[in-house]
Structures are given as structure tokens and as C-alpha cells.
Structure 1
């Protein structure tokens, strides 16, 4: 690590989500802004800010529920408007006063609910 690099020296490398609708879930992730890296018949990989990768894994049966991760955007209201205009049916924006943030949720094609948070980065390089 360089003395001039002010970013934390560690980050999340991979998060995973199982889907029984790989093509549709992959398209959803592209639609909400993830960068495609690879898509094969059983896995799709997407890159997020900071180098984190989302790995979509094809499974024959999936139990929908809350995604095991959440996402964060710079402008929550703009993202909410965009997702609504794309027909993604985001939930209304909710205030989370205990943590000084706002959130909304979207459901991806396999049925998992993904929570989108307003940015809470510290203002330092990340």
C-alpha cells in the first residue's frame, strides 16, 4: 500500500445471489447500473464501485427473500425515479432516522428483495 493511497486497504471482493432466472436477473443487474464482466450458462458476474463483484449463480430452485447484501447510490431520489421509470417498481423511500439514511427496495426477477441505501461514505477516499 502506498503512503499516498488514502483508501482503506481492504474491501468486499464478492457477494453472491442465487437465481432460477439467470438471464432475467442478469438483465436486471445491468439495468440498475452494474457493469457486466462475464455471463455463462450457470453464472453471471458484475462489477460494482470499489471493485466488488456480484456473482449470480443459477440454481434450479430458489427461495426468494431479502438479498444477503444491500446496495448504495450517490443520489437515492434520482435512482428511485430512474428505477420507477424503468418499471422496476421501487418501494416508497423510507427515512431511517436511527442511522441518518434513507432507503427503498426493489425486487429482482428471482424474487429477492434488494435494499438500496442513500450514500453514507465518510467523505474520504474509498
Structure 2
């Protein structure tokens, strides 16, 4: 494996599945697909949406006895945003890209926060909540120009 940044193949691994337990699977499925995640399928008691890179967000109904053994995921990096459940990255790398994406969400009726004044680890970002009150932070990308 090349550690000097010249690797051009796809990374060997990707995050496969992220579990989120929600009150209303249909509302959450609609919410995440309207954010731009790919609709994959709705099934009895769960739905799946797909993110860039092939990661699947698995939406299970809260309180469903058959899914009690599944632990909900927690992926976030902002200690100041206590409700953050997941952070997502747009494909764009600039603040203007993020402004455009944020504006498209407002047109769809979402209420994202203003874009933060300061970047976090090189990312511009804003926050919002999903129908269950899970905090979501949306960041600009800092992926290389290699395929991911």
C-alpha cells in the first residue's frame, strides 16, 4: 500500500452500514432522500438509503423488539453539538458549494442553521435536525481527487 498519496485505486474499505432508530421510517426515508441520499428500498420495519461510496444508512423503527440488539450508530466530531448523530459531506469542497447545497435545502422547506463563521478542521459546515431530532452536520468535502 502506498502511503505517499499517489495511490489511485479505490480505498480498500468503506463504511458499510450506519444504523439509526427512528419513530417514523417513512418520514425519515423521505427526509434523507430529499437531502440527496439515494433511495435504496423500504421494507417491513426498516428502510435503506445509500450514500456516496456505497455506505448504507439503515433506518429501523424505535421500540421494535426484533431490532433491540442493534445499537444505533454515532458518527460525529462536534462536541459543541450534543444532539449530533451523524455528519455528512457534500461532494463540493468550497464554501460556495455548501452555500448552494444549503440554499437547495431551504427551497425544499428544510431549516438548516447558517453556515458557521469558522471552519472546523478545514471544513465549512452547517447543522440541522432530522424528524427525530437527531443532529446532522453537513460539511464540505476534503476528499482528494482520487476515486472514492
TM-score range, shorter chain: 0.7 to 0.9
Greater relative contact order (Cα < 8 A, sep 6+): 1
Task: List 4+ stretches of structure 1 deviating above 2 A.
Answer: 95-98
Instruction: Name the one with the larger strand percent.
Output: 1
In structure 1, the partner of 2:27 is 24
2:17 counterpart residue number: 14
Unpaired runs of 5+ residues, structure 2, are 1-6, 65-81
Offset of 1:19 from its aligned partner? 0.4
**Change beyond 3 A, Cα 1:98–1:87:** closer
- The correspondence of residues 76-95 of structure 1 with structure 2, limited to 5 A, is 76-95=98-117
Moved more, 114-123 or 5-14: 5-14
With structure 1 as the length reference, what TM-score do the two structures score? 0.86
1:77-116 to structure 2, matched below 5 A, reads 77-116=99-138
Name the SS of the counterpart of 1:70 in structure 2: strand
Runs of at least 5 residues in structure 1 that lack an aligned partner in the other structure:
none
Deviations 1:64-101 (A, max 9, x none): 9321x210002211110011111110000014435121
RMSD: 2.0
Q: How does 1:35-74 map to 2 (within 5 A)?
A: 35-60=38-63, 65-67=83-85, 69-73=86-90, 74=92
TM-score, structure 2 length as denominator?
0.74
Distance 1:114 1:9, change over 3 A: same
Distance 2:36 2:25 in 1: 17
